[in-house]
Structure 1
Amino acid sequence: MLTNYWRFLFWLSLAASLVMLLAPAETVLQIKIWLAHWLPFGQQLDALDAAQNSDKWIHFSVFALLGWLGSQAWRQKPVARHPLLMGLVFMAVGTEGLQHWVPGRSASVADLLADLAGLMLGLLVARAGATRLSYKNAN
């Protein structure tokens, strides 16, 4: 039952990520403005220009979350981890390539590297948690 919950969260996050990664720049800007309106200290962050490289952090965070959620969703099926990893790597490369044709967006090697670094962190955190859980259950 819990596995279905993790899978639902994974697929929901994957769909939301694809929409955001492939949305035109104007749409992304409007979403950022809407979010900043609701965030505490949003205006102060805007004044500090703290979001100058926020796109790299967003790419990193999105793929860290997807890697972690995917690992949780298919924790009981180790054979599914390799296709999951390859699918998320393909998604990172594909979305960066497709951004070249999205109005106001551009493909970026730095964004791709942020995607892959986030994915690796998400998978490592999930693996560390699984190792700790199995060690705890063994004792």
Structure 2
Amino acid sequence: MGHPALAVHGAPSRAALALTVLVSLAVLFTPGDDVPSAPPGVDKLVHLALFAALALAGRWAGIAPRVLAVLLVAYAGASEVVQAVAPLNRSGSVADLLADVLGVALGLLAWTGLARARRSR
């Protein structure tokens, strides 16, 4: 049996999800002038990692995978629309959306792998 703090649906898992959502809001909606410059492609890795983290935290908090996938893909799409139309000095990007969706898929797959490994112990 694993550590009690890693139990699905526990307070630590909900706190991790809340923190991950707050980080995502900061990353996705920071005005463009405040976004640090980075080499080309790094922003796609940030999007992928952010949405993988959201997927992992969401599964840990007990959100069903299909529901979580739909919510996160909708959030990804909405974030790109907001970046494109809001006065944030940012631009929406289909490539960012694809990186987000790939991150969701990888996060869900990683959770499935972790759950299988945990069950086989």
Q: How far apart are the structure 1 equivalents of 2:52 and 2:108?
A: 7
Contact kept in structure 1, 2:47 and 2:99, CA below 8 Å: yes
Larger radius of gyration: 1
Deviation at 1:90, TM superposition (A): 0.9
Unaligned 5+ segments in structure 2 are none
Q: How far apart are the structure 2 equivalents of 1:123 and 1:88?
A: 11
TM-score normalised by the chain length of structure 2: 0.84
Percent of matched pairs sharing the same residue: 35
Unaligned 5+ segments in structure 1 are 33-49
Q: How far apart are the structure 1 equivalents of 2:41 and 2:103?
A: 15
Structure with higher helix content: 1
| Aligned mate of 2:76, from 84, 88, 92 | 92
Q: How far apart are the structure 2 equivalents of 1:102 and 1:111?
A: 18
The equivalent residue for 1:64 is 52
Equivalent pairs, count: 113
**What does the per-residue CA deviation read over 1:83-130, in whole Å, with 9 as the maximum and x for residues that have no partner?**
222111111010011100243211100000000001100110010110
Contact kept in structure 2, 1:60 and 1:118, CA below 8 Å: yes
Alignment of 1:13 onto 2:1: no
**What does the per-residue CA deviation read over 1:38-73, in whole Å, with 9 as the maximum and x for residues that have no partner?**
xxxxxxxxxxxx722111010001001111111111
The equivalent residue for 1:123 is 108
TM-score normalised by the chain length of structure 1: 0.74
Superposition CA RMSD, Å? 1.7
Return 105-114 or 16-25, whichever deviates more. Answer: 16-25
Moved over 4 A (4+): none
